[in-house]
């Protein structure tokens, strides 16, 4: 039980020197990557830059205790930062104590929600958010994030909560573009794109090993920060209108509890829930993908607890909502991290940066951090997924595009709300119209297949219907109509066999429908039979009077049913050559 809720007790028992070495190397690489990202995502959330560092310390340590993924790196991410800015921006102005307090409360409430869901083992709820919808939401959010950062690249004061507002605001301030800021922003963006795609292969050509090449390539953002900071300081570009980070306190976060303000908590409860859902979906997807590569196991419910505790820790340490980041987790994995201790070592590195490196960042141009965000989020835009979804499923494509357009038009909160609603609607719609097929016997076998897809033998007086879905309130009426219509159209039918091989559950509403079907067929002198009923389903049926009132019988297999009801037809089909 302790290992279930404290996975650290499991992996720490076999911790050794080699594991420590691998974790330390990974921590160095992730720390180098995380410092500029943390600063950038704090600004994206509308918070002081140091808050990004604070949100990257306690959550990493806490996740190392409670998390089940060996390589997940928790911290600020682009989408959660944007959602934080959207939620808190409705309640207070950026730069005010009220804004900061609301961001802290948002992380705290989000963490509590995640922990409660984890203790109640509600991790399955994330399955109701379909992949096309979440992919569309992330793509649209990435477009909004990249567009929102152009104001820092141009050096203007553009604002907006959706793509249209941002574009209009940027166009309205086009005459105010600062040439020095633009030069820095364009250089940093181009440099970071070049580093991402070309530096590592170039270093490999010069004979450097893969690990060293990886480390140097990941220092690209740090190199951009150092170079642009030196230029801004050396040429006093802040006096030329270039916006810089300014003074950052050289200290660790002071633990504090969020103020209990019922009105504030009520106002941010829904955004906190949305951030929790999106953050968890991203976290569990990354964690399971990386764990599968090493044949490791992830506990989805414990991940809820771990991510929730990390968010509570972020709030108590003066941070904002965090989640498992895809890019830094992949870097952590590729760098050779073996246990969550790598995250704890990364937290130590971030803490050292908060104590000793912040004075060096005074002249860091905001345009450089904007370039860091733009390069990071553009990789989240998956246009190929839109094409693949269109080819495979038009309904999923419609849901994806609706999510994208809603997010771009009305903002991230409306976008994810629409996405959740569409996911649930698609699930209910599809399951309310379950696939069913009239089946017949495959000649020379005891197998039964769809009459519209295979050459099969059918018996005129027997209607065999296979139901390919569990039966519950949403599709119970559909089954009634299917059987009634079929019997009404064919007066030769004397027996109806429901083939239940794909039915895993029958709820009370569906049971009433089965009872109604049985009664109506009995009145029409037609007998109802069931075949291939699974054990758990049969156990439930035995608790009711349905089996006692059933006009026909329950058969172990479909072949047994047909052979008993129409032995001549079954024997004839068995003697026919196979198709």
Highest mean pLDDT among 134-138, 379-383, 430-434, 524-528: 524-528
pLDDT, tens digit, 9 for 90 and up, residues 273-289: 989 988 998 888 888 88
Mean pLDDT score, 211-216: 74
Q: What is the pLDDT of residue 579?
A: 60
Mean pLDDT score, 481-496: 92
pLDDT, tens digit, 9 for 90 and up, residues 353-377: 999 988 999 999 999 999 999 998 8
Q: Label residue 484 exposed, middle or buried (CB < 10 Å: 0-12, 13-18, 19+).
A: middle
Mean pLDDT score, 191-219: 82
Encoded tokens for 407? 């997010």
Mean pLDDT score, 239-244: 93
Angle at 410 between CA 405 and CA 411, to 5 degrees: 95
Measured CA to CA in angstroms, residue 73 lies from 11, 108, 127, 395 at distances of: 17, 19, 22, 34
Q: Where along the chain do its domains lie? A: 2-427, 436-575
Q: What is the pLDDT of residue 46?
A: 92
pTM: 0.82
Angle at 559 between CA 554 and CA 560, to 5 degrees: 45
Predicted confidence (pLDDT) at residue 3 exceeds the cutoff of 90: no
Predicted confidence (pLDDT) at residue 429 exceeds the cutoff of 90: no
| Cα gap 276→310, rounded to integer Å | 12
Q: What is the pLDDT of residue 4?
A: 79
**Pair 149, 370: CB distance under 8 Å:** yes
Q: What is the pLDDT of residue 155?
A: 93
Q: Token match 């009711």: residue? A: 544
Predicted confidence (pLDDT) at residue 60 exceeds the cutoff of 90: yes
Fold of 436-575: Transcription Regulator spoIIAA (3.30.750)
Percent of the chain past pLDDT 90, that is, above it, reads 64
Encoded tokens for 237? 């570009």
Q: What is the pLDDT of residue 433?
A: 84
Q: How confident is the model at residue 196 (pLDDT cuts 50, 70, 90)?
A: confident
């Amino acid at each position: 039980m302790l290992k279930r809720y404290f996975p650290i007790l499991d992996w720490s028992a076999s911790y050794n020197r080699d594991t420590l070495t691998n974790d330390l190397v990974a921590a160095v690489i992730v720390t180098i990557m995380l410092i500029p990202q943390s600063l950038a995502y704090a600004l994206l959330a509308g918070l002081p830059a140091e808050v990004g560092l604070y949100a990257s310390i306690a959550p990493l340590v806490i996740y190392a205790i409670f998390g089940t993924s060996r390589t997940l790196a928790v911290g600020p991410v682009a989408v959660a930062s944007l959602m934080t800015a959207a939620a808190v921006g409705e309640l207070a102005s950026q730069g005010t104590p009220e804004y900061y307090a609301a961001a802290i409360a948002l992380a705290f409430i989000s963490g509590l929600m995640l922990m409660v869901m984890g203790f109640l083992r509600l991790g399955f709820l994330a399955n109701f958010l379909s992949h096309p919808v979440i992919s569309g939401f992330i793509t649209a959010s990435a477009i909004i994030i990249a567009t929102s950062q152009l104001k820092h690249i141009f050096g203007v004061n553009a604002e907006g909560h959706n793509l249209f507002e941002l574009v209009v605001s940027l166009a309205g301030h086009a005459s105010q573009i600062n040439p020095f800021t633009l030069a820095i922003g364009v250089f940093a963006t181009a440099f970071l794109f070049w580093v991402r795609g070309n530096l590592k292969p170039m270093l490999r050509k010069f004979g450097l090993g893969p690990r060293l090449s990886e480390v140097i390539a990941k220092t690209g953002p740090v190199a951009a920060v150092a170079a642009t900071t030196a230029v801004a300081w050396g040429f006093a570009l802040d006096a030329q209108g270039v916006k810089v980070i300014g003074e950052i306190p050289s200290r660790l976060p002071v633990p504090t509890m969020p103020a209990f303000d019922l009105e504030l908590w009520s106002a941010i409860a829904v955004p906190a829930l949305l951030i929790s859902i999106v953050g968890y979906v991203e976290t569990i997807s990354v964690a399971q993908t990386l764990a599968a590569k090493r044949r490791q196991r992830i506990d989805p419910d414990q991940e809820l607890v771990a991510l929730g505790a990390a968010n509570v820790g972020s709030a108590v340490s003066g941070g904002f909502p965090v989640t498992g980041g895809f890019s830094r987790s992949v870097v952590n994995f590729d760098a050779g991290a073996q246990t969550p201790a790598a995250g704890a070592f990364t937290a130590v590195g971030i803490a050292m940066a908060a104590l000793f490196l912040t004075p060096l960042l005074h002249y860091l141009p905001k345009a450089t951090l904007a370039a860091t965000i733009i390069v990071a989020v553009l990789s989240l835009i998956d246009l190929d997924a839109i094409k693949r979804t269109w080819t495979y499923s038009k309904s999923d494509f419609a849901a994806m595009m609706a999510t994208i357009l809603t997010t771009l038009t009305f903002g991230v909160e409306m976008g994810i709300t629409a996405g959740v609603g569409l996911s649930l609607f698609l699930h209910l719609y599809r399951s309310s119209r379950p696939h069913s097929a009239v089946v017949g016997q495959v000649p020379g076998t005891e197998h039964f297949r769809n009459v519209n897809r295979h050459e099969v033998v059918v018996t005129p007086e027997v209607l065999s219907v296979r139901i390919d879905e569990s039966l519950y309130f949403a599709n119970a009426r559909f089954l009634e109509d299917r059987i009634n219509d079929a019997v009404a159209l064919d007066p030769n039918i004397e027996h109806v066999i429901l083939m239940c091989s794909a039915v895993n559950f029958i709820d009370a509403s569906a049971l009433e429908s089965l009872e109604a079907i049985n009664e109506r067929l009995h009145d029409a002198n037609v007998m109802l039979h069931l075949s291939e009923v699974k054990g758990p389903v049969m156990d439930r049926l035995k608790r009711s009077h349905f089996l006692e009132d059933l006009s026909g019988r329950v058969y172990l297999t479909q072949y047994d049913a047909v052979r008993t009801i129409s032995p001549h037809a079954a024997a004839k089909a068995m003697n026919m050559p196979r198709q």
